[in-house]
Each structure stands twice: as structure tokens, then as C-alpha cells.
Chains A and B, each alone.
Chain A
């Protein structure tokens, strides 16, 4: 699998605001996944979007994928303090390879 690059590296917003983070990658993919990590704990799988999909929703999460630009975005609406975490994207070529993670976006939700 290839490494995605998340942007920005850090993001601080007020509770209730929306948070947007982006992911870029270099070669064609089968799918792209987003994960969340709270305070050095295990990663939690948030959402998977396939290469033939352009947008996907899950609760307060909205993910887009633009394969022509090799980029994806994760939008968290109505942010909460519990959303404070690091977020990682994982572009995948399919199959069952291990994932390669970038530095992530560290999101801080201020009360």
C-alpha cells in the first residue's frame, strides 16, 4: 500500500464547528480508508470509500474522493470534544496488504 499525506498537520477549532482535513496520494487505488487515534491508543476505522465512489456519509462524517486529483477529504460536522484525536488516511490498492500511515492530522476541539 502507499502512504497518504494528511493536511493540515494540526487543526484547532471551537466545539460545534466543522473540521475538514485532506489526504493526497500518488498512485491509483482500490479504496481509501480513514482512521482515528485517540491519545496513543489503537486506531479506530471510521470509513472506507471505494475508487468508484465520490462521496460517502457516516453519521457526522462525510468523505469525498477525487481520483483525478488523487485526493480525499474528511469532514466532521458539529464537532465535539470527543473528536479530539489524530486522523489518518490510508490509500489502499486492494488485497490484504498492511497499511502505510502518514503523520496524520492532529485535531483539537476547544470547548
Chain B
């Protein structure tokens, strides 16, 4: 398995500002992902964080709004830019150690409220 931590665990932000969320894995992993969970909803994949190259975004998510970095095999950041109240969600990162099985281990999430 993999132990994943996220910072911050929660935040309250003003409209128009940006927040960067950090995700740290306790060991090297093959893949890292970012998900969003809007209130009362299931998880939606935002993007795959690729080490050393640009992230791969899912339909409906763009780099200008959600820039992602992955400088090494244990760390990634997600920035939520120019926030609006609609961005209020839980943001979760996950990691897959094994490319074959695809089993993912999730961080505890970052609870974001935008006023």
C-alpha cells in the first residue's frame, strides 16, 4: 500500500483567489491522480499527474483552471485558480503503485469552501 498526505486539510478562500494543494506519498509510485468530489456527489477524475511532463486532463477540466505539477515520483500539487463558489468541493489525490492492477490509494482529501 501507500500512505498519502495532503495539505491543507481544509481551507476557506475568497472568490477570485487561488489555492495550491499538496500531495505527498510515502514512497515512489507510478501514477498520481487528482479527483474532485462536489457536495453530495461522487468522485470525478480531474487529471492524471505525469512526472516530468504536462498533466493529462479529463473532459471538462483545463490546465488554466487546474494547473498540476509533479516534479518527482512522490509529490504533486493541484492549484485551483480564480476560484468561485462552484469550486467548493473536496479535492483528493491518489496514487497507483502498480501499473498493472491500477489499485489506487487515496489521500484524506482537502475540503475547500469558496466564499
A42 is an interface residue with CB less than 8 A from chain B? yes
A82 is an interface residue with CB less than 8 A from chain B? no
Verify B42–A88 contact, CB threshold 8 A. Answer: yes
Verify B106–A44 contact, CB threshold 8 A. Answer: yes
* CB closest residue in chain A, given B96: A96
Candidates B42, B94, B100, B106; contact of A103 at CB < 8 Å: B42
| Interface SS majority for chain A | loop
Q: How many residues of A contact B (CB 8 A)?
A: 25
B66 is an interface residue with CB less than 8 A from chain A? no
* CB closest residue in chain A, given B39: A40
Verify A45–B108 contact, CB threshold 8 A. Answer: no
Verify B111–A40 contact, CB threshold 8 A. Answer: yes
| Interface SS majority for chain B | strand
**Contacts A41-B108, A96-B31; is A31 near B42 (CB within 8 Å)?**
no
What are the 5 closest A-B residue pairs judged by CB atoms, nearest first? A42-B106, A98-B45, A96-B31, A43-B106, A96-B99
Give A residues with C-beta under 8 Å from B.
1, 30-31, 33, 35, 40-45, 48, 88, 92, 94-104
Q: List 21 A-B contacts (CB under 8 A).
A: A1-B102, A31-B101, A33-B102, A33-B103, A40-B37, A42-B108, A43-B43, A43-B92, A43-B94, A88-B43, A94-B100, A95-B102, A97-B48, A98-B45, A98-B48, A98-B58, A99-B33, A99-B104, A101-B43, A103-B42, A104-B42
Q: 20 new A-B pairs (CB below 8 Å) besides A42-B109, A98-B47, A101-B43?
A: A1-B102, A30-B102, A40-B111, A42-B92, A42-B107, A43-B43, A43-B104, A45-B1, A45-B106, A88-B43, A96-B99, A97-B102, A98-B45, A98-B48, A99-B33, A99-B102, A101-B44, A102-B42, A103-B41, A104-B42
